[in-house]
Amino acid sequence: MTAATEGVLAGLDDAACDELAGLYRDLHRHPELSFQEERTAGVAADRLRAAGFEVLPGVGGTGVVGVLRNGDGPTVVLRADMDALPVAEATGLPYASTATTRDTEGRRIPVMHACGHDMHVTCLAGAAQALADGREHWRGTLVALFQPAEEVAGGARAMVDDGLLDLIGRPDVVLGQHVFPYPAGTVLISPGEILAAADSIEIHLYGRGGHGSQPERTVDPVVLAAATVMRLQTVVSREVSPFERAVLTVAQIHAGHKENVIADEASITVNLRSFSPEVRRRLLDGVERVVRAEAEASGAPRPPELRTLNAFPLTVNDPEATARVRRALTARFGAERVTDMAPLMGSEDFGVVGTAAGAPSVFWGLGCADPEVFERARREGRLTEDVPGNHSPAFAPVIFPTLRAGVESLITAALAWLATDPPR
């Protein structure tokens, strides 16, 4: 561990961590959906101002950018996402969310931090404060980026399109982390492709409605949808090599309002995940071909309509920058707590900022599961049953040691560039 890291981390005492734990519980109680993170953004902005950052609110809608210039040196971006999910919490925690909101169709829906973004915000707030307090130990420019709308793959792009890079300049590196259901206190990091590209598509299928007793007078969109769903399964199983990685999920199907009425139309949503541009294109082309062919085979009166809901890029860690971060993390935590991160089919828009800036980026995993529960579940072969994963209504990081490890990871990684004695 460098002297700069040791100096900055000296300010991260038990009282500071307890205060951050209170912030985490508050954020967990008050989740906000994508592009609605007004309260969360306000909390982040207030903390950055108090720490001495120049604060730029409203970037990309609800995004917040904090800039701390501390002499000549590199520019390092630390990023945290802020948004929650439309999930009803089932953790039983005393600080569990009971929040609800209305969706775009006016329906009342629950809201929960089911992916740990509240922990990400808390860790970045803590790291920003500690680095500001310990600024005598480093030189350069620190950018704290609180990003909206990661869950819908829109926030990073919105911030870039709103002039983010004009505000902060070209960074030397973009750094971020994400909690995953691994033992709390551990860090997972690897170079190269670590998170999949993902594409979500909404498909409208058109039929001809009528009475359920007279199917011969109709074109049944439910039958069309069912045939389409089944045929779509072959896009991966029969069109992608078993040596490639790909997933196709039909997550929703909607049609009709009454049991004796054949509807006029049906809709399905498809989610695709891949690790190479070639496979991604094959999946997208295969879905469109199958959907249009099934509609024609059913005699649909109108061609189907396909609409992209969101598209996540492949997340790729720069090899050289990743090696630099890993050396720093290993020096801080020890080799036993820093392990390889296997590629995951989950997706992120984290890489958008680095790609737009032409800067290297590094993204790592932060364990957040109770270590004893995790180890017992591993021994008993019950990890999927006993250790809730991201997006589960039962998902909630254990606050300690997750919080301290997350703050220390961000500080340590940033100082691999900002410190006057960075690891080589």
Active site residues: 83, 150
Q: Nearest Cα to 256, choosing from 289, 288, 210?
A: 210
DSSP 112: B
Distance CA 92, CA 96 (A): 7
DSSP 313: P
DSSP 264: S
Q: Is 54 helix (H, G, I), strand (E, B) or coil?
A: strand
Q: How many CB atoms lie within 10 A of CB 288?
A: 14
Contact between 359 and 352 (Cβ < 8 Å): no
Q: Both ends of the chain: CA-CA distance in Å? A: 11
Q: Nearest Cα to 75, choosing from 320, 358, 313, 424?
A: 358
Contact between 171 and 409 (Cβ < 8 Å): no
H-only helix segments in 195-349: 221-237, 277-297, 319-333
Distance CA 393, CA 85 (A): 10
Q: Nearest Cα to 275, choosing from 344, 354, 321, 340?
A: 344
Distance CA 168, CA 177 (A): 20
Pairing mode, strands 338-339 and 173-183? unpaired
Q: Nearest Cα to 146, choosing from 135, 159, 161, 165?
A: 159
